[in-house]
């Protein structure tokens, strides 16, 4: 079952990121099956100058001007004519689609699919999601025009990397990603985490779960080397988050155990020129995520965001005495080798994240409520075993540790002010519970997609019915 | 604050509830009842969840009125009917605590307009038995035929409600459960649900959305109806007198369910799922039945109110809970009961 | 004289106890309604919920038809499980989300009944990882089980199979059956209101598609807590 990995056999941006800073997603409907198939043929052989070429996972010396890739939803596979028998071999999560799995992944209330922005409010019409990566607006427009010749474009979404690799909430992101055995990823050179087996991200290879292979949809031309993606448009309430940090800092200032969080005169140690309130805000922000906003891991540097000497950004693990709260966002999503209830699941639910921000910049000094957020891709070989498993049991519910069970992720969780809570750690090994966290991240739309291999795109383009 | 329009609606509700076979001098529903006294003692855990006086562990005297829900002034204990259990905790603080509960797990309607509509639709109607042919048709449709009429049952309490429930999903569960609720062997052998959500505050400031249920320690036991379909009309009062004679007691455990995110806190037609965390909040011990004089002077003149809450227990925004406050006030005034706990207060 | 007091009225009241009438109900009335108003099979296991206490102490009633329901076949199933006690404890101790689990042979079925925390797929998947060989041994004795061996390489299919053989859990509040039956037909909560008097019939008809069911989601003495929370509180480690 296992095979040699050939970078020319799969699409780019799956096992490694592109390092390009602008993206446009096209939500596509197949209205003319023949035109769609011809487009796919041309996107592989490059013989038609008016059809963009699918970018393969091949190492390049210089960044190409544009990288074009496609992914398909379950209705998309149907629309392209995959047989019923073969369709049934895809995993249930993907067959159901993201909107049907909403409750499982926390998409209720304001995140419910009935409230999603167009075109995601009509999930059955979204057949493909194509991505165009390019740092030139002109190229984005050009490729979009080309795609429009073969597909009905239901909607587009533009994303970009914010300055200094930050995300809307002001944290430095993209510090570490799973890296895979046998794949050289320059961007992850400084990442000291354990290597992940290729089966974490591609179908047909061993996984981190000993002896377990995820099922390859039939025929193997279609399924082998494929991957799955949870594409999500996540609006992020930056000003709500800043407000919460202020509230929490004010709460802590009055707390009898304040000195266990911030000893008298300790503010400057936290960050240069910090007042007590600023220091507390940043401590809360750091504990909520598990990293200071400059990227320094809280676990390695719980007292200051500017450790001297510097600490590794990636080489750490959690233990029973960790200063990084068990409920911190990063620790919930990736508990690493730390203590968890489902010991067997340590390191098995890894997700590759490829995301860019959307919407206007946020200036915490002049906060506004315009919509902004993340266009996120959460990739893995099995949506149920990775994305959904993390969302359902760990990010929400908090089943991995008895001290957080019944609470949701402080940053991403489906929280409501009345019931939410988050336990901060103190310097003396105690806890201080924060209440009243609102839902900072709301899903505005999304889809489960299949990322076909090159052979699979060829297979789809050759279907005859 | 009670507005004038609330008052008008509540007045209309009270008017509709009065049945032709009722008595304007008595309560319009839960007309027949009996007064019992005893005491409540909170569990050791209770104070961790609530800083309110009833839950601090002191022995608190209580006055309880058990009742049949029907507004018929003639007692029919054996008829299928909801039963009520109104409990007043006599506190040291400025305000007592009334916990009004019934044997149905939920209320019929979620808001004021639907309640008014429901009360109109569910007015008792002359009793029409199912004909044998209707029953055969029901059997052939795999339905359960309407139950047979009890002797002297001239008004049907259910027909209007059933029609209403066929138009409104929220009313289906309560109507379905009411239809088979039957009669208990004793007021002390039924579970009573307070239905509405209340908000309690823990000593550390944590607020919890909760619902209360009284669980009889002796167990829940319905009374079978004999094959002749002729239920006893009057046994519940004597039963509780017998039960509490010779220094015997009857006990209830107060169970409290903790609401969770997304739970229906302001909709009392929706019972919470059975697996919400349940806290044992305390034990109620009943030891004395009021004599006829006290029954007349005290219990029948007493004005309970579901919004009579001590510091530390707040009402939710359930519109039914709030309109009940006004409706109870009006009803209390109309039957010249003792001063309503809220009268003149606000 | 009122209806129920008439001779005919009293006779009609006794009909449901008469043998010929039961026969008629079983062989004519029920089949007629099944033809007229068929009910799709309702899915098994606890329903997905966003609320914490719905997601701990969840019940699985996995009912598996024995390939060979003879005395010898049953004994083989017993052996398959008895030989794997170490494996089962290994799984229990390392998956960490199971409160109770037991096997029962009932008629020609092998039943695995358990109480677990969290997502159903994660629960089964984690067990495949730790005790895949036990599942293989069990599936070898089960009708249609061979196609799923080895379970480690049929993870998705095995999880779906288990889900299909997990008993439908009738709603704790009876009228919710309408909602679930509507859902199975693709009708949302805003669909038409059912005639309440048809609820008994809807239950009768559902038994055709779900001949075995679990009565509600079970009763719990200390709902709302995970196995690990209880172990932590008891001081026995987790």
**Distance separating alpha carbons of residues C168 and C158, to the nearest angstrom:** 18
- Among residues C77, C33, C72, which one has the least CA distance to residue C209? C33
- A244 CB burial (10 A radius; 0-12, 13-18, 19+): buried
In this structure, what DSSP letter does residue A123 have? G
Residue range A129-153: average pLDDT? 97
Residue in C with minimal Cα distance to B138: C197
> Can you give the length of chain A in residues?
465
- List the Cα angle A283/A286/A288 in 5-degree steps: 110
Q: Which of B135, B175, B275 minimises the CB distance to C54? A: B275
Handedness of CA C75, C80, C86, C91 (dihedral sign): negative
Q: What is the pLDDT of residue B147?
A: 86
Residue to substitute from C197, C200, C224, C233, interface B, most B β-carbons within 10 A: C197
pLDDT digits (tens, 9 = 90+) for B282-327: 999 999 999 999 998 888 889 999 999 999 999 999 999 999 999 9
Chains touching A (3+ CB pairs < 8 Å): B, C
* Residue A1 predicted with pLDDT over 50: no
> Can you give the length of chain C in residues?
238
Q: Are A94 and A450 in contact (CB under 8 A)?
A: yes
- Residue A181, CB half-sphere, CA atoms under 13 Å: how many? 13
Q: In the numeric block, which tokens belong to residue B258?
A: 């903790």
**Distance separating alpha carbons of residues B80 and A452, to the nearest angstrom:** 64
Q: Which of A212, A393, A396 minimises the CB distance to C128? A: A212
Q: Are A91 and A448 in contact (CB under 8 A)?
A: no
Q: Do B275 and C50 touch (CB under 8 A)?
A: no
Beta strands in chain C (DSSP E): 58-65, 98-106, 109-116, 168-169, 213-214
Distance set, CA B214 to CA A251, B191, B284 (Å): 38, 6, 9
Residue in C with minimal Cα distance to A386: C122
Residue range A129-134: average pLDDT? 98
Beta strands in chain B (DSSP E): 33-42, 60-68, 83-89, 97-102, 125-126, 155-156, 192-193, 198-201, 207-216, 250-258, 278-289, 313-315
Q: What is the pLDDT of residue B1?
A: 55
**Distance separating alpha carbons of residues A175 and B84, to the nearest angstrom:** 63
Q: In the numeric block, which tokens belong to residue A87?
A: 């369709």
**Distance separating alpha carbons of residues A351 and A349, to the nearest angstrom:** 6
Say whether residue B278 is in contact with chain C using an 8 A CB cutoff: yes
**Distance separating alpha carbons of residues A10 and A205, to the nearest angstrom:** 14
Q: Do C118 and A399 touch (CB under 8 A)?
A: yes
Residue in A with minimal Cα distance to C159: A92
Q: What is the pLDDT of residue A27?
A: 98
Say whether residue A162 is in contact with chain C using an 8 A CB cutoff: no
Domain C52-167 of CATH type 3.30.70.100: yes
Considering all CA atoms of chain A, what is the largest pairwise distance in Å, rounded to the nearest integer? 75
Residue to substitute from B151, B169, B227, B255, interface C, most C β-carbons within 10 A: B169
Quick count: other Cβ atoms within 10 Å of Cβ A146? Answer: 19
3-state secondary structure of C113: strand
3-state secondary structure of B117: helix
Q: What is the pLDDT of residue A61?
A: 80
pLDDT digits (tens, 9 = 90+) for B272-289: 999 999 999 999 999 999
Q: Are A15 and A201 in contact (CB under 8 A)?
A: yes
pLDDT bucket at A47, cuts 50 / 70 / 90: very high
Which H or E element spans position B201? Answer: strand B198-201
Q: Do A392 and C122 touch (CB under 8 A)?
A: yes
Q: Are A327 and A402 in contact (CB under 8 A)?
A: no
Report chain C's C-alpha Rg in angstroms: 22
How much of chain B, in percent, has pLDDT values that exceed 90?
Answer: 77
Which H or E element spans position B284? Answer: strand B278-289
Strand order in the sheet with C58-65: C58-65, C109-116, C98-106
Q: What is the pLDDT of residue B128?
A: 87
A-C contacts (CB, under 8 Å)? 113
Say whether residue B207 is in contact with chain C using an 8 A CB cutoff: no
pLDDT digits (tens, 9 = 90+) for C147-196: 999 999 999 999 999 999 999 999 999 999 999 999 999 998 899 999 99
pLDDT digits (tens, 9 = 90+) for A328-371: 999 999 999 999 999 999 999 999 999 999 999 999 999 999 99
User: Which CATH class, in words, describes the domain spanning B4-123+169-334?
Assistant: mainly beta
* Residue B346 predicted with pLDDT over 70: no
Residue in B with minimal Cα distance to A255: B204
Q: What is the pLDDT of residue A3?
A: 63
The distance of B150 to chain C (nearest Cα, Å) reads 10
pLDDT bucket at B4, cuts 50 / 70 / 90: confident
Residue range C120-143: average pLDDT? 93
> What ipTM was reported for this prediction?
0.92
For chain C, the structural domain boundaries read: 52-167
3-state secondary structure of A396: coil
């Amino acid at each position: 079952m296992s095979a040699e990995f050939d970078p020319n056999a799969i699409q780019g941006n799956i096992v490694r990121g592109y390092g390009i800073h602008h993206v446009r997603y096209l939500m596509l409907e197949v209205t003319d099956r023949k035109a769609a198939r011809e487009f796919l043929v041309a996107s592989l052989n490059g013989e038609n100058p008016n059809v963009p070429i699918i970018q393969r996972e091949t190492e390049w010396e210089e960044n190409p001007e544009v990288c074009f890739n496609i992914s398909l939803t379950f209705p998309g596979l149907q629309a392209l004519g995959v047989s019923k028998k073969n369709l049934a071999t895809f995993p249930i999560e993907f067959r159901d689609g993201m909107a049907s799995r909403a409750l499982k992944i926390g998409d209720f209330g304001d995140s419910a699919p009935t409230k999603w922005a167009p075109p995601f409010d009509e999930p059955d019409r979204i057949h493909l999601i194509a991505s165009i990566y390019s740092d030139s607006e002109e190229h984005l427009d050009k490729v979009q025009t080309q795609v429009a010749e073969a597909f009905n474009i239901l909607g587009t979404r533009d994303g970009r990397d914010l300055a200094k690799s930050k995300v809307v909430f002001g944290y430095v992101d993209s510090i570490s990603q799973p890296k895979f055995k046998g794949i050289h990823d320059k961007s992850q050179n400084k990442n000291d985490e354990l290597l992940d087996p290729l089966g974490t991200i591609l179908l047909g290879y061993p996984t981190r779960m000993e002896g377990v292979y995820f099922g390859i949809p039939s025929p193997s031309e279609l399924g082998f080397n494929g991957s799955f993606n949870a594409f999500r448009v996540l609006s992020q309430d930056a000003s709500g988050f800043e407000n919460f940090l202020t509230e929490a800092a004010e709460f802590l200032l009055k707390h009898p155990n304040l000195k266990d969080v911030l000893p008298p005169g300790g503010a400057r140690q936290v960050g240069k020129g910090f007042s007590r309130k600023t220091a507390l805000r940043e401590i809360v922000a750091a504990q909520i995520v598990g990293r200071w906003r400059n990227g320094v891991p809280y676990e390695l540097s719980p007292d200051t965001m500017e450790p001297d000497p510097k600490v590794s950004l990636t080489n750490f693990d959690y233990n029973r005495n960790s200063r990084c709260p068990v409920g911190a966002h990063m620790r919930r999503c990736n508990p690493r080798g730390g203590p968890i209830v489902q010991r067997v699941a340590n390191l098995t639910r890894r997700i590759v994240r490829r995301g860019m921000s959307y919407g206007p910049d946020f200036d915490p000094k002049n906060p506004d409520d315009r919509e902004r957020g993340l266009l996120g891709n959460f990739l893995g070989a099995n949506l149920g075993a990775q994305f959904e498993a993390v969302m359902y049991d760990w990010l929400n519910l908090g089943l991995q540790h008895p001290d957080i069970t019944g609470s949701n992720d402080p940053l991403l969780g489906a929280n409501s002010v009345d019931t939410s809570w988050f336990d901060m750690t103190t310097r003396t090994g105690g806890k201080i519970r924060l209440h009243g966290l609102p839902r900072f991240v709301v899903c505005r739309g999304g889809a489960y997609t299949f990322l076909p291999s090159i052979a699979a795109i060829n297979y789809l383009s050759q279907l005859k019915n | 604050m009670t507005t004038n329009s609330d008052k008008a609606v509540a007045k209309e509700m009270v008017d509709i509830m009065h049945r032709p076979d009722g008595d304007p001098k008595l309560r319009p529903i839960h007309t027949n009842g009996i007064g019992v006294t005893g005491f409540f003692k909170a569990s050791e855990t209770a104070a961790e969840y609530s800083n309110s006086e009833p839950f601090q562990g002191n022995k608190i005297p209580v006055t309880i009125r058990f009742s049949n829900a029907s507004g018929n002034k003639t007692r029919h204990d054996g008829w299928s009917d909801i039963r009520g259990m109104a409990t007043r905790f006599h506190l040291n603080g400025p305000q007592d605590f009334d916990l009004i509960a019934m044997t149905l797990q939920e209320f019929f309607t979620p808001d004021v307009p639907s309640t008014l509509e429901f009360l109109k639709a569910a007015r008792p109607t002359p009793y029409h038995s199912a004909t044998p042919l209707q029953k055969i048709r029901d059997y052939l449709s795999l339905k359960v035929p309407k139950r047979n009429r009890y002797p002297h049952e001239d008004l049907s309490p259910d027909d209007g409600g059933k029609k209403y429930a066929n138009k409104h999903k929220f009313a289906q569960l309560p109507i379905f459960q009411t239809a088979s609720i039957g009669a208990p062997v004793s007021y002390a052998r039924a579970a009573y649900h307070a239905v509405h959500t209340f908000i309690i505050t823990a000593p550390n400031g944590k607020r919890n959305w909760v619902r209360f249920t009284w669980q009889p320690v002796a167990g829940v036991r319905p009374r079978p109806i004999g094959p002749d379909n002729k239920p006893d009309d009057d046994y519940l009062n004597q039963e509780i007198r017998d039960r509490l004679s010779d220094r015997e007691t009857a006990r209830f455990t107060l169970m409290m369910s903790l609401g969770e995110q997304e739970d229906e806190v302001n909709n009392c037609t929706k019972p919470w799922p059975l697996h919400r965390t349940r806290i044992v909040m305390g034990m109620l011990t009943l030891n004395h039945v009021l004599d006829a004089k006290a029954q007349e002077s005290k219990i029948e003149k007493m004005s309970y109110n579901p919004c009579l809450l001590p510091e530390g227990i707040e009402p939710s925004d359930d519109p039914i809970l709030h309109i009940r406050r006004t409706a109870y006030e009006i009803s209390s005034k109309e039957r010249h009961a003792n001063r309503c706990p809220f009268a003149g207060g606000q | 004289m009122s209806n129920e007091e008439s001779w005919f009225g009293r006779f009609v009241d006794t009909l449901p106890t008469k043998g010929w009438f039961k026969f008629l109900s079983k062989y004519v009335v029920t089949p007629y309604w099944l033809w007229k108003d068929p009910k799709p099979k309702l899915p098994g296991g606890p329903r997905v919920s966003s609320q914490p206490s719905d997601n701990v102490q969840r019940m699985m009633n996995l009912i598996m038809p024995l390939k060979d329901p003879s005395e010898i076949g049953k004994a083989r199933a017993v052996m398959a499980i008895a030989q794997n006690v170490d494996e089962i404890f290994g799984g229990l101790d390392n998956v960490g989300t199971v409160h109770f689990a037991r096997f029962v042979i009932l008629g020609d079925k092998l039943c695995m009944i358990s109480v677990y925390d969290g997502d159903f797929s994660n629960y089964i998947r984690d067990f495949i990882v730790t005790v895949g060989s036990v599942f293989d041994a069990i599936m070898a004795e089960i009708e249609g089980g061979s196609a799923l061996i080895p379970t480690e390489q049929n993870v998705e299919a095995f999880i779906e199979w288990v889900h299909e053989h997990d008993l439908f859990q009738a709603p704790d509040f009876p009228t919710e059956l309408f909602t679930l039956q509507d859902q199975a037909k693709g009708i949302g909560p805003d669909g038409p209101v059912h005639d309440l008097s048809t609820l008994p019939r809807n239950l009768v008809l559902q038994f055709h598609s779900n001949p075995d069911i679990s009565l509600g989601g079970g009763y719990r003495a200390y709902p709302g807590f995970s196995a690990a929370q209880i172990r932590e509180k008891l001081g026995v480690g987790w």
